[in-house]
Amino acid sequence: MKISKRTIDTILACATSAHPHECCGLLLGEGGRITQALPAANVHPEPARHFEIDPRALIDAHKAARAGGPQVIGYYHSHPNGDPRPSATDRAAAAHDGMVWAIAAAGEVRFFRDGEERFEALSYIVQPR
Ligand SMILES: [Zn+2]
């Protein structure tokens, strides 16, 4: 998986500004490359411990993808408690649909694939653009 540096920077800035709440958003790109993180509102009623991406942002992103824009490759959110691993809540919410999940915590971002059985850690290369 290849990730643009601005994707990482956007996720980390989003995590910092949302703290102590969880931030969330979408990962956009093409094929094996994530080019952009698109911040979305966390509409969950308990945003300090959970996230729910604003459904409007999801609909808009899928619409833009169908119109020729970048594809929705996955989602990101932050863990204000500093643990960058998928939580029990994340595991319960997993759709096992192969989407990429990025989790930001304590100044780092980790990437996982929502695989058929479980979240699989993804190794990645950061690209300058
Ligand atoms: Zn989580």
pLDDT tens for the chain, 129 residues: list them. Answer: 999 999 999 999 999 999 999 999 999 999 889 999 999 999 999 999 999 999 999 999 999 999 999 999 999 999 999 999 999 999 999 999 999 999 999 999 999 999 999 999 999 999 997
Distance from the CA of 67 to the center of ligand 1, in angstroms? 30
Q: Structural domain boundaries of the chain?
A: 2-127
Q: Which of 42, 36, 39, 94 is nearest to 69 (CA)?
A: 36
Domain 2-127 of CATH type 3.40.140.10: yes
Q: Which of 109, 114, 125 is nearest to 37 (CA)?
A: 109
Which backbone phi and psi does 12 adopt, to 5 degrees? -65, -40
Exposure string for 21-59, b = 16+ CB within 10 A, e = fewer: bbbbbbbbbeeebbbebbbbbbebeebeebbbbbeebee
Q: Give the model's pLDDT for residue 31.
A: 82
* pTM listed for this prediction: 0.95
Provide the annotated active-site residues.
Answer: 22
Distance from the CA of 121 to the center of ligand 1, in angstroms? 14
Q: Give the model's pLDDT for residue 129.
A: 77
Provide the residue type at 50 as one letter: H
